[in-house]
Structure 1
Amino acid sequence: MIGKLDLYRVFSVVAKNNSFSRAAKDLYMTQPAVSQAMMQLEKELGTRLFNRTPKGVTLTTEGSLLFEYTNSALGLLDAGEEKLLEFKNLTTGQLKIGVGDTISRFFLMPYLEAFHTMYPNIKLQMLNGTTSEICNFIKSGEVDIGFCNFPIEDSTLQLTVCTDIQDIFVCGEKYKTLSSKSLRYEDLLKFPLIFLEKKSNSRKYVEDYLLARGIYIEPEFELGSHDLVLEFARSNLGIACVTKEFSKDYLQRGHLYELTLKESIPARSIGMCYLKTVPLSRAATKFVEIIESKSLNTRRTIRKA
């Protein structure tokens, strides 16, 4: 006797083909066996699922409703089986990561390289977004893991700090004389300011810090990427707020100059996040292990130095 799950699988194939005979070919069954299976399912459910005609079959209203749920359920089962296969050997599968361009370029790239070397058959899919967008990607299942600017306040997410970063103010050659002075934040307001756009978590962190000290900023330029902020500052369009760790090349080459402030902005972090309630795939678990092991080694190296 065919089990209930098998009956639903046969039902789904018949519904997609609108034919017992075509479904039988797809299922490697005889047409009478397919017909008998559907009669059995209709009997167990106590309702007619198909309108039978000489040209084939069509779903009844009840059949259409059942098909929506059956198709979804079978899709989840197939996804589950794929996850199990991935868990066993990591010879196939996909890892979806949400991350912004800057964090990807200056922090994540070595980890991606290490993971790809170890598991070359795992497809890496990167979804770009701001911190708030990445958190939404995680919750909607569009990505497995996200890498964001902290702090994040969200009880549904598992948060892991990866590395600390420092926000600073920089200028180009035009304002170079400012770099030899000790400045207050109020002094910066006399000059054109260059910031990331408002939806950026980095911008919000600095802006909240300044507002807490009664300083309200109105940037002349609000840009969509950290690289643009650096280039605008280099072009002498104003004083820019940037992440020091992501600006080292500009600072070391003398394209930009760091300003000295009487009070530094507190350091913040880059971190990894994923849903607490949903188990990670095998590929995601391995990637997390790589991140955690390398981050730990980095911290140990810093302490020894």
Structure 2
Amino acid sequence: MITKLDLYRVFCQVAKSKSFSKASKELYMTQPAVSQSIMQLERELDIRLFNRTTKGVVLTNEGKLLFEYINSAINLINAGEEKILEFKDLTMGELKIGVGDTISKYFLLPYLEKFHNKYPNLKFKIINGTTIELCSLIKSGEIDIAICNLPINDGSLEVIPCGEVRDIFVCGEKYNDLTRDKVSIEDIVRYPLIFLEPSSNSRKYVEKFMLSKGIKISPEFELGSFDLLLEFARINLGIACVVKEFSKEYLEKGLLYEINISEEIPSRSIGICHLKSVPLSIASTKFVEILED
């Protein structure tokens, strides 16, 4: 007897494949069985889910809406089934981590190495994205945990701080005179500024701090890459706001200089995020323990 869940699994595969015949191969079902399943689901919901064309099928507007919910639900179910397998002494399974490019490069790599050496049979799936994108992926069940810039204000997520970072201003040789004495934030904004794009959590944090001092910024350069911040400052295009812990190589080699501002930007945290309503898998728990250490 085919269950409602079975029908939804068929529905999702047809939506992804855009073809009954392709979906039947993926599901190891006959094409008539797939077609009958979709017809049964449409009857039960009393709504048309697909438009049939000579090239295959496409979702109706109602079908698109249903797919968003059902696909997320099935991803969560699949995640739950995968977590059960991980109970076998962590000898199998997959750890799906969401992380931004900068945190991945400058913070996460040593912890991934340590975890892999301890549990070599576990697979890693690393998905890069913005903090907003990663929070959405957690909720849809596509990743187990995310490593993000804090703060994150979302009641559905559990947030565990695992490291502190500090935002600073740096410059190249052209503006090196700014490093001799303390400089006020008011003076900093008179120079060409180099910041991350407005959607970045790091940018929002610094911008909020500066607004609290009555200072509104209007950067000359807004970039999508932390590495570009360092390079733009190095070639004297302006004053860049960067994370000190992620800029050590440039600072130690004398490629960039830290500007000593009169009022330091308060340090902030990098944190681990996961869904409150779904218990962490054993693999995720062990990885979080390594991060917290």
Q: TM-score range by the shorter chain?
A: 0.7 to 0.9
User: TM-score scaled by structure 1?
Assistant: 0.73
Question: Which residue pairs with 1:62 in the alignment?
Answer: 40
What do the CA deviations read for 1:234-285 (whole angstroms, capped 9, x no partner)?
Answer: 0100000000000011001000000011111111111111011111222212
Contact persistence 2:79–2:141 (CA under 8 A): no
Deviations 1:166-196 (A, max 9, x none): 1100000011111102111111122110000
Q: Distance in 2 between matches of 1:176 and 1:112?
A: 37
- The answer for the alignment partner of 1:50 in structure 2 is none
- Greater C-alpha Rg: 1
Give the RMSD, CA atoms, in angstroms: 3.2
Query: 1:78 deviation in Å?
Result: 6.7
Q: Following the alignment from structure 2 to structure 1, what is the Cα–Cα distance between the partners of residues 105 and 34?
A: 55
Residues 1-305 of structure 1 mapped to structure 2, 5 A cutoff? 7-8=1-2, 59=36, 61-62=39-40, 80-292=80-292, 294=293
The one-letter code sitting in structure 1 at the alignment partner of 2:40 is: E
Change (3 A) 1:263 1:116: same
Question: Which AA in structure 2 matches 1:287?
Answer: F
SS in 2 for 1:261: coil
Count, aligned residues: 249
Q: What is the rounded CA distance, in whole Å, between the counterparts of 1:233 and 1:57 in structure 2? A: 58
Distance in 1 (CA, whole Å) between partners of 2:137 and 2:99 is: 10
Matched to 1:252, the amino acid is E
Contact kept, 8 Å, 2:76 with 2:142, in 1: the verdict is no
Paired-residue identity, %: 57
Q: CA offsets per residue over residues 18-71 of structure 1, 9 Å max, x none?
A: 9xxxxxxx89xxxxxxxxxxxxxxxxxxxxxxxxxxx99973843765799xx9
Q: Secondary structure at the match of 1:216?
A: coil
Change (3 A) 1:121 1:184: same
1:164 and 1:175 mapped to 2: Cα distance? 28
- Unaligned 5+ runs, structure 1: 1-6, 19-25, 28-54, 295-305
Q: Which runs of 5+ in 2 are unaligned?
A: 11-19, 21-27, 50-69
Partner of 1:23: none
Cα distance in 1 for partners of 2:94, 2:203 equals 32
Say which SS state the counterpart of residue 97 (structure 1) adopts: strand
CA distance in 1, matches of 2:77, 2:150: 36
Q: Normalising by the residue count of structure 2, what TM-score does the alignment of the two structures yield?
A: 0.76
Q: How has the CA–CA distance of structure 1 residues 96 and 66 changed in structure 2, closer, same or farther, with 3 Å as cutoff?
A: farther
